[in-house]
Amino acid sequence: MARPKHRTNPGATYFVTTDTWQRRTIFRNAEIAATIEEKIFHYRDAGNFLVHRHVVMPDHLHVILTPGSSTSLGKAVQLIKGGSSHQIGKRRGSRFPIWHEGFTEHQIRDRRDFEAHVNYIDHNPVKARLALTPQEYVHGSASGRFALDPWPVASGAEALGTKQPDTAGLKPRPSGSREIETALLRPLEG
């Protein structure tokens, strides 16, 4: 059976979900979950994409990201999955399947859609009874441990307005369109 083609638009932001191989709960292991996060932010810092939110659940990953101008959505997910699989195998001294093939994506349409997906990601560990509050769950961006990128205006999306969501750990970024393009290409400072 043919793999479905991902429809992606340049400059767009996506809510991405990808599962572990056979939905095994291997991300319950704190070392493995931390490796996933390490790779997400390594490739973000290298300028491959912006990261707006993430959560590593026991058997899947949710992330909201905006691919860089030279990185497709598929390549961004491949970097995260391939980089983390390689690092986990290296650290554990063995090779075993980590990820299920493929991923699902949803293009963020506007501010309301973005905030709904942020809320979904933040509350996923609470709903799964892994934490009492989103901030309590260590392997998610609601914990405040990660410098996140503000959401750039995606093509056709509602412009950033006066209402800014409560997003712990955000680093300020420029809001002009030329500055956003520059921000997509350079690694984050400090």
CATH code of residue 87:
3.30.70.1290
pLDDT of res. 92: 75
pLDDT of res. 89: 84
Residue 1 lies in a domain: no
158 Cβ partners below 8 Å, 6+ apart? 110, 111, 112
pLDDT digits (tens, 9 = 90+) for 52-106: 999 999 999 999 999 998 899 999 999 999 999 999 888 877 777 899 999 999 9
Residue 78 lies in a domain: yes
C-alpha span between 80 and 62 (Å, rounded): 12
Domain extent for 80: 14-185
As a whole number of Å, the CA-based R_g of the chain is: 16
pLDDT of res. 146: 93
Residue 9 lies in a domain: no
Residue 76 lies in a domain: yes
Residue 6 lies in a domain: no
SS3 state at 95:
coil
pLDDT of res. 10: 67
Do residues 154 and 107 touch, judged by C-beta distance below 8 A?
Answer: yes
pLDDT of res. 173: 40
Residue 53 lies in a domain: yes
Tell me which of 134 and 162 has the higher pLDDT: 134
Report the phi/psi class of residue 2: left, alpha or beta, with left for phi > 0 and alpha for psi in -120 to 50. Answer: beta
Beta bridge partners of 54: 63
- State yes or no: pLDDT of 188 exceeds 50: no
At 73, phi and psi to the nearest 5? -60, -45
Q: Where are the beta strands (DSSP E) in 28-181?
A: 49-56, 60-67, 104-107
What is the number of structural domains in the chain? Answer: 1
C-alpha span between 77 and 68 (Å, rounded): 12
Residue 125 lies in a domain: yes
pLDDT digits (tens, 9 = 90+) for 168-184: 444 444 333 334 333 33
Residue 114 lies in a domain: yes
- State yes or no: pLDDT of 160 exceeds 90: no
| Closest-CA residue to 146 (of 49, 10, 40, 1) | 40
